[in-house]
Amino acid sequence: MLINPYNDEYFMKQALQEAKNAFEEDEVPVGAVIVCKNQIIARGLNLTETLTDVTAHAEIQAITAAAQYLGAKYLKECTLYVTVEPCCMCAGALFWSQIDKVVFGTRDEKRGAGTVGKSLYHPTTLVVNGVLEKECADLMKEFFGKKRK
């Protein structure tokens, strides 16, 4: 029996590394990777402070990089792994990309796409949450804990 080491936890760990990179840059620690056929084709981290751009979320960075890599605007055979639940803006971008699957670590109770009544994702997109939830949530708590001091 073959064991596939490339599962949701493996790729979420890659997204967590991007989030840690954002943390080191004093950005809100959100990280993302986009995977196609078990290969990471794009990485993104939150760059809103660095770029002085409210749209420079990790998901948007990753979507743009993946589309450039593929030479196509649709991400139909791809999966996004992101440490924090996408906001409404990012869910909208994911809708337009027609991505196959979105996997996120921890919910965003204030600004997450799940706070809206109906799903903002494309009807064909599978959404999975809670992968490495504690690790993803702990990084956010540590970041904002330091900000409050």
Catalytic residues: 59
Query: CA separation (Å) from 120 to 50, 76, 97, 133?
Result: 28, 16, 12, 21
The two three-digit tokens of residue 143, written as one number: 């970041």
| Residue-level length of the chain | 149
Q: What residues contact residue 69 under an 8 Å CB cut-off, 6+ apart? A: 41, 42
Query: In the β-sheet with 126-129, what is the strand arrangement from edge to edge?
Result: 39-45, 31-36, 78-84, 101-106, 126-129
The two three-digit tokens of residue 1, written as one number: 């029996």
Euclidean distance between CA atoms 35 and 9, whole angstroms: 13
Are 56 and 47 spatial neighbours (Cβ–Cβ below 8 Å)?
yes
